[in-house]
Amino acid sequence: MSTFDRVLAPQQDAVIATNKLIRNTYMLLSMTLLFSVVTAGAGMAMGISPAISMIATLGAIGLLWLVLPRTENSAAGLAVVFGITGLLGLGLGPLLTHYLAIPGGGKLVATALGGTGVIFLGLSGYALTTRRDFNFMGGFLFVGLVVALIAMIANLFMEIPALSLAISGVIVLLMSGMILYDTSRIVNGGETNYLRATVSLYLDFYNLFIHLLHLLTAFAGGDD
């Protein structure tokens, strides 16, 4: 092997590893999104109650915090990722049933889903093609997320519709930033595990969809 090859070989290995990570992440992301659609449909068909929906969401959070970190480097981690996304999909059942019951609700849900897809593909594609490092946004995004969570806790009890709309608007912007941040971490070596990368991007998509749906319903004059 020449000196030239020895210098280039590690760089080529890194590029191959990154490309493999990107391919695995987006393949798993598309499968988990489809799986969530199936479980959300099942949740709607079974007419699960908001209480069951909440338990499913709490179960997903439990898997995310307690089980995924211990299994992310094994084959079991794949099942955990499907468990998280399946439970989150199931938890969406009553929410979607509520929105679909609103006049024109089907169109609102379809618009929110299509809009989320366009935003996700646009931002993720932008970060992938420019290969820019958006790591500098991390602190700003996480502090913003903490502030939004505190506002959500307050509004659970205050129930101010304008604050609820403002929170959704802020979360849509934060999730858009998170898509850039998470994709850039995959491209630039900040994230090397495809299971973690998939769950991060899935959560960006999931939160973006829910809050975009809330915004669209409110502005369309729905009962939300």
Partner 1 sequence: MDMWMKIALAVVLGIMVIRLWPAAMHMMKHGPEGSNEDWRAALLPIAAVVGFIILLILMVRGN
Chain positions contacting partner 1, by CB under 8 A: 50-51, 54, 58, 61, 65, 104, 107-108, 111, 115, 118-119, 122-123, 126, 130, 132-140, 142-143, 145-146, 149-150, 152-153, 156-157, 172-173, 176-177, 180, 212, 215-216, 219-221
Closest approach, Cβ 88 to partner 1, in A, equals 13
Other beta carbons within 10 angstroms of residue 156's beta carbon come to: 9
Q: Minimum CB separation from partner 1 for residue 74, in Å?
A: 23
Nearer to partner 1, 28 or 181 (CB): 181
CB-based burial, 64-101: b 16+ in 10 Å, e otherwise: beebbeebbeeeebbebbbbbbbbbbbbbbbbbbebee
Q: Which is nearer to partner 1, 27 or 150 (CB)?
A: 150
* Nearest residue (CB) to partner 1, 4 versus 157: 157
- Least distance to partner 1, CB of residue 114, Å: 9
What is the identity of the amino acid at 110?
A: A
CB of 81 to partner 1, least distance (A): 19
Residue 122 Cβ, how far from partner 1 at the closest point, in Å? 7
- Contact in structure between 210 and 113 (CB atoms under 8 Å): no
Tell me how far apart the alpha carbons of residues 114 and 98 are, in angstroms, rounded to a whole number.
19
Nearer to partner 1, 34 or 54 (CB): 54
DSSP string, 150-167: HHHHHHHHH--HHHHHHH
Choice between 74 and 122, CB closer to partner 1 = 122
> Is 167 within 8 Å of 154 (Cβ atoms)?
no
